[in-house]
Amino acid sequence: MYLPFYQLNKKPFEITTDPEFLWLSEKHKESLAMLQYGIMENKGCLLLTGDVGTGKTTLIHALEQILGNDVALATIFDPNLGTIDFFNHLAEMFKMNMRFDSKGTFVHHFTNFLNTTFVQNKRALLVIDEAQRATPEILEELRHLSNIERHYTKLINIFFVGQNEFIGMIKAPEFRALRQRIILNYHMGPFTRKETGEYIRHRLQIAGAKKMIFNAGAVDEIHKFSKGYPRLINIVCDLALVSGYVDEAKIIKPDIIRECTGNLTIHNEFNTFSKTESSEINGPVKKPTQRKMKKGIPRGKKPFQWVFAFFGAIVLVLVAAGIIYY
């Protein structure tokens, strides 16, 4: 729709994780290097946490590209499964071409699979995405799988990727043994204002833009609304390009961004909810005094007070007139 108008080859702000548009901030690069080190050195269990939309899935795809064929990789996108279903799904992701009816049979064949992978000079990596959805039973089974070793070398690396609440989950006493196996962990935060601008510029360049379409004020508004979360940045920028196309605006300015963010009622409701939560923690928020008029009477004033004042004024006028006449 807006591609020819802005001379773009493709949409720059799709919310899907297209590797072509991959941009790594300093936080991404640091966490990626840490995770790569943990896997190549067979450290065992790794943990990456971050709020919704901070780019955790993007980082997983980047890690997959770096590791290449030297790693046997399996990714579980939803670990909220029963034990046997989880084992069969895990075997399918590792392409074992087997199905199991019991835990004992699975563990036997899975251990053989890991030993074969080790002999082939490959590393086995299991990525558990949305780790906060895993049941306590699945987390306990994963802890047992992480114990499989050969010649004092871990045969499988387990990479937990979860939202912030996963940290609270594994702090529970029953997960003490699992916590002790997490050798490396990293928490991803949102972009800074500078990173937000670099991220937008990068995606526009990949899409074929010859210049920066969003001016500095627009980027300020985008960062203010998105708080630096890449997913929200993509949503706002895409809407802004549509709105700019309709208005025939070659450069996106702050007023267009404010118009777009005003239409994102769902995110506005989320922000309101967050403020409500904050008030419950920090105490009630005082509302500013409103000086609105309703039928000529300021809010908060009782009607009889104004009737009394009205007749009092008439009496004063009559007295003054009498004095003058006298």
- Rounded Cα distance between 200 and 219, Å, is 8
User: Which bin fits 68, alpha (ψ -120 to 50), beta or left (φ > 0)?
Assistant: left
The yes-or-no verdict on residue 321 having pLDDT over 60 is: no
- 274 pLDDT exceeds 70? no
Q: What is the pLDDT of residues 176-235, one digit of tens each?
A: 999 999 998 888 889 999 999 999 999 999 999 999 999 999 999 999 999 999 999 999
Share of the chain above pLDDT 90, in %: 60
Q: Which amino acid is at 202?
A: H
Q: State the alpha helices, DSSP H only, in the chain.
A: 3-6, 26-40, 56-67, 83-93, 103-119, 136-145, 165-170, 176-181, 193-206, 216-226, 230-247, 254-263, 265-282, 303-325
Q: Calculate the alpha carbon distances from 106 to 86, 91, 112, 113 in Å.
A: 11, 8, 10, 10
Domains and CATH numbers, the chain: 3-17+192-273 (1.10.8), 26-188 (3.40.50.300)
pLDDT tens by residue, 56-88: 888 888 888 888 788 999 999 999 999 999 999
- The pLDDT of 117-135, averaged and rounded, is 94
Structure-token pair, residue 227: 């708080």
Confidence of residue 53 (pLDDT cuts 50, 70, 90): confident
Q: How far apart are alpha carbons 100 and 105 in whole angstroms?
A: 7
Q: What span, in angstroms and rounded, lies between the C-alpha atoms of 267 and 53?
A: 13
Report whether pLDDT(273) > 90.
no
The pLDDT value given to residue 269: 45
